[in-house]
């Protein structure tokens, strides 16, 4: 059985995120790639991952599933548990679905929508992107 190229990209993304390898993650994006974050809004992907790197001290990623679009669109979703240790040592654990949109003729990411409930994080840990 042939593995879909998006599946490989999402696996590589989760592995790189678990290693805090933001250089590799940024290379997965098209030059005009963007991220939509519940905390930070929409921004260029390289800016988002620089901010994430500055806010983080360790990541542990536990993959749950990968979903490929049923409509043959250029989308796929990674569902995983994110154990995020921020720079002050606070551990924040939550489940997230990252929705990836790819270039129509390749495997570069053009948009990443982060989908998770921010209320439990904000109520217990505040906004960890701010210094």
Check pLDDT > 80 for residue 124.
no
| Reported confidence tier of residue 5, pLDDT bands at 50, 70, 90 | confident
Can you give the pTM of this predicted structure? 0.88
Please give the residue range of the domain that contains residue 96. 5-125
Contact in structure between 9 and 100 (CB atoms under 8 Å)? yes
Report the Cα 109 to chain-centroid distance in Å: 11
Mean pLDDT of 10-28: 97
Number of domains in the chain: 1
Check pLDDT > 60 for residue 131.
no
104 domain-assigned: yes
Q: What is the pLDDT of residues 28-49, one digit of tens each?
A: 999 999 999 988 899 999 999 9
| Reported confidence tier of residue 117, pLDDT bands at 50, 70, 90 | confident
54 burial level (CB within 10 Å; 0-12, 13-18, 19+)? exposed
131 domain-assigned: no
Q: Output the domain CATH number for residue 74.
A: 3.10.450.50
31 domain-assigned: yes
Check pLDDT > 60 for residue 114.
yes
Q: What gap in Å lies between CA 129 and CA 87, rounded to an integer?
A: 9
Q: What is the pLDDT of residues 50-108, one digit of tens each?
A: 999 999 999 999 999 999 988 878 999 999 999 989 888 988 888 999 999 999 988 99
């Amino acid at each position: 059985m042939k593995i879909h190229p998006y599946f490989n990209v999402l696996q590589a993304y989760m592995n790189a995120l678990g290693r805090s390898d933001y250089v590799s993650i940024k290379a997965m994006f098209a030059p005009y790639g963007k991220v939509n974050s519940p905390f930070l809004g929409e921004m260029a992907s390289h800016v988002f991952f620089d901010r994430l790197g500055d806010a983080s001290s360790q990541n542990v990623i536990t993959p749950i599933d990968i979903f490929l679009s049923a409509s043959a669109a250029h989308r796929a979703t990674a569902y995983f548990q994110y154990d995020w240790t921020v720079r002050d040592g606070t551990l924040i654990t939550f489940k997230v679905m990252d929705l990836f949109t790819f270039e129509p003729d390749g495997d570069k990411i053009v948009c990443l929508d982060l989908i998770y409930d921010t209320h439990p994080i904000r109520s217990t840990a505040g906004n960890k992107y701010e210094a």
